[in-house]
Structure 1
Amino acid sequence: MPYDLGATVRLTADCRDPGGTLTTAGTATVTVTLPDGTTASPVPAETTPGSGLYQADHITTVPGRHTVRWIFTTPADAYTDSFDVRALAPPTILSLTDAKKHLKLKATRTDRDDEIRDWTESVTRGIEGLCGPVVVRTVHERHDIRRAQAIALRALPALELTDVQPILSTGTAYAVADLDLDPDTGVVQRLDGGALTGPLRVTYTAGRPVVPANITAAARIIVQHLWRTTQGPSRPQPGTGDFDVTEPIAGFGYAIPNRALQLLDPDRLPPGVG
């Protein structure tokens, strides 16, 4: 399960001789390679002298995939592992509290929290693949135009332009006050009717400041559907038609039930958009 940014990850490894017996190493080192390519070297220690079991603590500072490499000498041994760190504010339509309440799990029960958080993040990605950004975020896009009367932003709905800069040093920057943005289509054009010259790097915010009730309801149904798949086989229950899945969705297969698709229908992007 991913760790939250800023959390401490306890790294563990065993040192074994060629015969597979746990052995105290002459030296033990551990290196964590961060997503940006830099490295960190936590100080490892044998958990109990003579046990051959080692651990080290790493405080996370960068989101993304981390690689862990243990090296032991005398005897020579090595071990490689990895872990993931969430972004500072991963986008989720449902909060952990909301998801647990819908799944009828007590707030005091925390043993499945990491799993539920993974589901809520996955559900958000699935819904946004169909409807465009729901959770408001900053988007950076490159538009490789030479000269155009308008450009079309790709993340819809687009809320506000924040910066439009040339990629080439000889290019032209545009003040956002001189540009018009249509939030529904993402079309950006100059207020004076002139052409835009590029290539351009555009920064803007996209999403829905208030999440529509139908999207929230769909998210709850999808979370419950995915949760049911982890609970083992059970007898069909009356009213479970909400979780029937007959329409495979490109990129998501059969993860989204029919009832959720019906709820999302008013907000689904046209084919080829997004």
Structure 2
Amino acid sequence: MPFDLGATARLTAECRDPGGALVTAATAVATVTLPDGTTATPAVTEESTGRYQADYVTTVPGRHTVHWVWTGPAAAYTDVLDVLEAAPPAILSLADAKQHLNLRSSDDDAEVRYWSIVTTRAVEYYTGPIVPRPVTEEHTVRGASAVFLLQAPVQEVTAVDQLLTGAAAYTVGDLAVNGATGEVYRPDGGRLSGRLRFTYTAGRTVFRENIPAGARIILQHLWRTQRAGRRGAVAGGGDDYSVTEPIPGIGYAVPNRALELLAPDRLPPGVA
């Protein structure tokens, strides 16, 4: 499961000799490679013969690589760890997700949070961003009447800068924004030009009950597919959550009932 930003990730690995037996190595080093290419080498301890661990405090979000190297005997092992962004998008809180899944203990909290984030991505594939987030993106514009931002709906555009110099290209107050489609244009009829960097906020501050309701159904569906064999359950079973037709781009991950609930907030045609 991904780690929260700032949390301590406990890294574990086993050193085995060429015959496969656990052995104590002469030296043991764990190297963590961060997403930006920098590295860290947390202290390593041997908890029992051949079983090593290192505690690494996460500092940046993204995919990290963990490379273990032992000498005496020579051995190596590579793994990965993922670190969430500071505020990972989630339509459902942990409490809401657990309530819908009828979970009372905290044993599965990490997995529930993970699938809740996956659920949010599935909902937003269909509706566009729901959870508000800052976005920066670049557009090369040659005398266009409008620019369509890639992550609609858009709450507000906060800056439009020249990509090469960083200087303001347009005053935000002189631009108009269609929040539903992400269209940015000049209300005076003028054209937009240049290599531009747009900074804006995507998502919604308020959304209707059909969106978290659809998210609950998707979460329930995904959770059930992960629980095949428990108490006789069948992966993906249950008519209430069945999918009769694959959805382009997301296959069978989203039940039809959830799509029906999300339909009023579907992205306008042509909006990515």
User: How far has the Cα of 1:272 moved from its partner?
Assistant: 3.4
Q: How many residues align?
A: 267
Who is 2:66 aligned against? 68
Give the secondary structure class of the aligned counterpart of 2:170: coil
TM-score normalized by the length of structure 1: 0.91
Secondary structure of 2:210's counterpart equals helix
Report the Cα distance in structure 2 between the residues aligned to 1:65 and 1:154, rounded to whole angstroms: 24
How far did residue 137 of structure 1 move? 0.8
* Superposed CA offset, 1:163-216 (max 9, x none): 101123498611111111111222212243321111211011111101211011
**Structure 2: how far apart are the matches of 1:192 and 1:24?**
74
Q: Residue 228 of structure 1 aligns with which residue?
A: 224
Q: Counterparts of 1:172 and 1:101 in 2: how far apart (Å)? A: 48
Q: 1:145–1:199: 8 Å Cα contact kept in structure 2?
A: yes
Asked whether the equivalents of residues 181 and 271 of structure 2 are also in contact (C-alpha less than 8 Å), the reply is: no
Aligned-residue sequence identity (percent) comes to 58
- The aligned residue for residue 110 of structure 1 is 106
User: Does residue 156 of structure 1 match 2:128?
Assistant: no
Q: Aligned in 2, Cα 1:213/1:169: closer, same or farther, shift over 3 Å?
A: same
Q: Which has the larger displacement, 223-232 or 116-125? A: 223-232
TM-score (norm 2): 0.92
Q: Distance in 2 between matches of 1:242 and 1:9?
A: 38
Structure 2 CA distance for aligned equivalents of residues 102 and 164 of structure 1: 42
Which residue of 1 is the match for residue 136 of structure 2?
Answer: 140
Which residue is equivalent to 2:52? 54
Q: Partner of 1:2 in structure 2?
A: 2
Partner of 1:40: 40
CA contact (8 A) 1:133 1:206 kept: yes
The alpha carbon displacement at 1:95 in A equals: 0.8
Task: State whether structure 2 residue 207 is matched by structure 1 residue 211.
Answer: yes
Contact 2:31 2:39 (C-alpha < 8 Å) held by counterparts: yes
String of CA shifts for 1:63-86, please: whole Å, max 9, x gaps.
111111111111111111111111
Q: Which residue of 1 aligns with 2:194?
A: 198
Worse overlay, 226-235 or 117-126: 226-235
Aligned to 1:31: 31
- Cα 1:115/1:22, change in 2 over 3 Å: same
Q: Is the 8 A contact 2:70 2:76 kept in 1?
A: yes
Which is richer in strand?
Answer: 2
* 1: CA distance, partners of 2:166 / 2:117: 41
User: CA-to-partner distance for each residue in 1:126-146, whole Å, 9 max, x for gaps?
Assistant: 110111111111111211112
Matched-pair contact (CA < 8 Å) for 2:161–2:197: yes
Separation in 2, partners of 1:235, 1:91: 30
Q: Is the 8 A contact 2:140 2:193 kept in 1?
A: no
Q: Using a 3 Å threshold, how does the CA distance of structure 1 residues 45 and 241 change in structure 2: closer, same or farther? A: closer
The letter of the residue matching 2:101 is L
Matched residue type, 2:12: T
The one-letter code sitting in structure 1 at the alignment partner of 2:33 is: T
1:45: Cα distance to partner?
1.7
